[in-house]
Amino acid sequence: MLEISFQNNNVIINNIDCFNIAQTLDCGQAFRWEQDSNGYWCGIAKGKFLKLKQEQSKVIFYDTTKEDFENIWFDYFDFSRDYSKIIQTINNPLLKTAAQFGNGIRILRQDSWEALCSFIISQNNNIPRIKGIVKRLCENFGKKIYGGYTFPTAQKIASLSLEDLAVLRSGFRAKYILDAAKKVSSGEIDLDLLINSDVNFSREKLMTIYGVGKKVADCAMLYGMGKIEVFPIDVWIKRALENLFDGHLPEATGEFAGIMQQYIFYYAQQTKLKI
DNA sequence: TCCCAGGCTCTCT
DNA sequence: AGAGAGCATGGG
């Protein structure tokens, strides 16, 4: 069972099960975390800088208050969910293999706007370049805080022009980012409302944004709205389904389909699964 | 170099 | 409604 203690401005977690920082932060669901030369993971999320490190089942959150841990990071890392129990329920042997391979992954509960914007950028793109574009987005239009820059708000982006966004070098995606920012900041799309809405309604609404199709909408919902039952299908997943599951979705894609999807994605990527 | 990337829009059947 | 080209850019 998870044990949490607070010492010297640090938050220390002991006895954590099914959590691996590297797997969780570098599995392709978030694009702003980096490991420094001393092994510390650093990033900015929800407007806050965080540095953390893992030693086996012990995780240290540096310079973190009890309030920030309880109000922000506990939910961000999905610590309330029992992943071990979920993995135990998997019947399909191939899915079980993928799950055990990536059993330290947790589905991050990211900011909804950041997830939406990040996955708009992700389309027809590769992960290193996605990270570069997101980095430039934050450095140019985010707010400077200790440790780096925050993710810019939709309001901020909506106030910019396509020419302003040229510094991102995001190609044809710039006009999509702008349309999303305008719809979100004007209230035409209310992300907080969608968080509490039915998946189909939410998806339909997100897809009214220019440049947002089913896959991007599903990623925004899974990674930014806590809709854990959504199963985004991209090229990697398609390949994996062809290769491992004979073209069909494994039956375990039920209540926790999004978690299963991430296990499959990570497994496919790490093992360089190709056609 | 050249292929392709956590897709989507538009056009043409 | 289904298939296919085009899209911007650059990582490997």
Q: Which nucleotide is nearest to A222 (CA to C1')?
A: B6
Nucleotide B5 C1' to residue A70 CA (A) = 37
Return the closest-CA partner of residue A10 out of A130, A126, A55, A205.
Answer: A55
Q: Which amino acid is at A94?
A: L
**Whose CA is closest to A134, among A153, A118, A154, A149?**
A118
Q: Is pLDDT larger for residue A271 or for residue A221?
A: A221
Q: Is the pLDDT at A275 greater than 50, yes or no?
A: no
Alpha carbons A250 and A242: distance in angstroms, whole number: 11
Distance in Å from B1's C1' to A65's CA comes to 52
How far is residue A182's CA from residue A188's CA, in Å, rounded to a whole number? 8
Would the Cβ of A220 be found within 7 angstroms of any atom in strand B? Answer: no
| CB-CB contact of A20 with A105 (8 Å) | yes
Task: Give the mean model confidence (pLDDT) for residues A7-34.
Answer: 96
Write down the pLDDT at residue A226. Answer: 98
Report the pLDDT value the prediction gives residue A244, as an integer from 0 to 100. Answer: 82
Q: What pLDDT was estimated at residue A252?
A: 52
Q: Is the CB of A224 under 7 A from strand B?
A: no
Report pLDDT digits (tens) over A47-66.
999 999 999 899 999 999 99
Who among residues 253-272 of A has its Cβ near strand B, under 7 Å? 261-262, 265
Supply the pLDDT for residue A239.
Answer: 86
- In this complex, which residue's CA is closest to the C1' atom of nucleotide C10? A129
Q: Strand A41-45's sheet: what is its strand order?
A: A3-7, A10-14, A58-62, A48-55, A41-45, A34-35
Is the pTM higher than 0.85? The answer reads: yes
Quick: pLDDT tens for A205-263: 999 999 999 999 999 999 999 999 999 999 889 888 888 887 777 655 689 999 999 99
**pLDDT over 50 (residue A88):** yes
A80 versus A273: which is more confidently predicted? Answer: A80
Provide the percentage of residues in chain A whose pLDDT is more than 90.
Answer: 87
Whose tokens are 């995001």? That residue is A170
CA A225, CA A250: separation in Å to the nearest integer?
24
